[in-house]
Amino acid sequence: MIGTHADRSREPKRETDAVAKSTMIRRRNPVAGLLFLTCLSSIHAACNTRANWLESPGDGIKVLIGYEQDLGGRFASQPANGLDTPAFAPLLPQDIQAKDAQGILPNDQDKGVVSYYEPDGKDGWRICRKEDWFRRNEGTRPASIARTEKNQSRNTSLAPVLRSHVMGAARVYLYDSKGRIQETFAAAVYEPEKSERVTTDERQCFRFNDQNLLQLYVSATATNACPSGDPDPRDTWRRFRYGAFKNDRGHTENGSLWIQWHQGNEDGRWSESIVFRNSPKPSPERHGGNASVDSNKGVTQILGGFNIGLRDRSDGPALKYTDGSSKPIEYYFTKPPVPVSILDDVDQMYRHDRRRETQVLSGIKLIELYPAGAHQPLDRFYMAAGRTLRQEQYDDSGKLKRVINLGFVGLNKKDGGFYDEDLRGKVGLKLKGSKLLYRVWEYDAAGKASLIAIGWDAKFGSAAREEPLELAQLAFGSPDGTVGWKREDEFFKAFDFDPIASRAYPDPVAK
């Protein structure tokens, strides 16, 4: 964290409680113990020294001892949305600027803060540095005292605290030529037992466009450096793209087109989550979704999709929510690699093998596999708990030729099912009282269905019992009850039935 430094391992354990107590005191009275040094020089001195990040600035910078400004969450965490990320640091409040009181770091607290402010070029002051100071005790290392005297003694405003405290870590804030935050990091001697070398950590980098909208955020966890071009894949970063549109009031505003969250690893492998839209303005025609990307496989899936895959002849669009709205589209790409460019041109997705999934009912999904270049699936699977409840088979022209149903999920659509099925007068009397499990329907050229085979539970009175499929005494044959297949696998093979939709899952994605 920002307040971490190497010598803390030798500070008393009560330091943590002291930090919390110090924070509470500052919240009650943010200007308590405040030393405000007004800049007397007309020359803007450097707030931070690149040759030694631990060196406190000299004259020309405002020093506030015992004060820590609330930055409103700026520069504290990874931004979720670039539109909500301010480019400029909050100004030093006027009431704090007006203070001119001699302050100290209280001796009854183990930790205190010294903040530094530089002119922002607009008659205001912005944070440029924050230092953590620790009260001396019998465990304080002489090297820490010597380092503090060397790096902080040139600023006369710090004279009161040099006798009682040592400086630990510094949080540095750097800005670009337009005054926008560009970089922030912590500097400290992190391993004092080994050397007095100053190192930096927790580096965050920001890049804005001409409209002061965040384009790139980098948490340089691997490289510890801000990129001048594309970010390093080993780091963690977020990239944003925007578009302008007219809102309902006729005013121009910006909306998100692309939010890319990149999670890197030191070995070079990475993963990404990308929220993409083809238009910044919400409309019925806009398309987009949430994509997952892998360093080896490329795009692996698109979830929460809308208006994508329109050329695929899916049954998914017919499945609506009760309010009539469309259900989200899910695509899984089964033959990697798939380039990220398909998110900018979604028609490219048709060049790749893909599985489309749509929620039907609670726990039931429609599964459709489309080979590259094809828009008509050869099979449609309705699945629940990894088992096929309904398989629809099509010929090369896209006509339905066979359906295999398992169990009953509502007798028809009106009863809450997802298909209509009429068995009246189609099953022999000898099967009365038996639970019908599998039903095979074949369709002629005119689309008329005929029940040609069934699978039933041969145990007496099975229709009156609610038992799982695994406990059924299965028999397979014609609708009149004549047994035609001795084993389940023979029955499945005869009608090309895939009980777990394995052909729709050539990839290792779990069903």
pLDDT score, position 330: 96
CB 400 within 8 A of CB 447: yes
Which tokens is 475 given? 């028999």
At 106-115, the pLDDT tens digits run 778 899 999 9
Q: Averaged over 228-235, what is the pLDDT? A: 96
Q: What are phi and psi of 57, to 5 degrees?
A: -70, 160
Question: Would you mind telling me the total number of residues written for the chain in this entry?
Answer: 511
pLDDT score, position 14: 31
Which tokens is 149 given? 């005297």
At 384-427, the pLDDT tens digits run 999 999 999 999 899 999 999 998 877 677 777 888 898 989 99
Is the model's pLDDT at 18 over the cut of 70? no
Is the model's pLDDT at 338 over the cut of 80? yes
Is the model's pLDDT at 316 over the cut of 50? yes
Across the chain, mean pLDDT equals: 86
Is the model's pLDDT at 259 over the cut of 90? yes
- Please give the Cα distance from 21 to 299 (Å, whole number): 49
Query: 136: how many CB neighbours lie within 10 A of its CB?
Result: 16
Among candidate residues 273, 278, 277, 294, the one with its CA nearest the CA of residue 80:
273
When mean pLDDT is compared across 23-37, 66-80, 313-327, the lowest value belongs to 23-37
CB 201 within 8 A of CB 190: yes
pLDDT score, position 23: 34
Query: Under DSSP, is residue 501 helix (H, G, I), strand (E, B) or coil?
Result: coil
Among candidate residues 81, 80, 78, 75, the one with its CA nearest the CA of residue 255:
81
Say what the pTM is: 0.83
pLDDT score, position 98: 66
What's the number of CA atoms in the CB half-sphere (13 Å) around residue 306?
17
**30/291: higher pLDDT:** 291
Is the model's pLDDT at 29 over the cut of 60? no
pLDDT score, position 221: 94
Q: Which ranges of 312-413 does DSSP label H, i.e. alpha helix?
A: none
CB 111 within 8 A of CB 133: yes
Is the model's pLDDT at 31 over the cut of 90? no
CB 120 within 8 A of CB 148: no
Q: Averaged over 206-216, what is the pLDDT? A: 96
Q: What are phi and psi of 254, to 5 degrees?
A: -100, 145
Among candidate residues 492, 291, 490, 480, the one with its CA nearest the CA of residue 391:
492
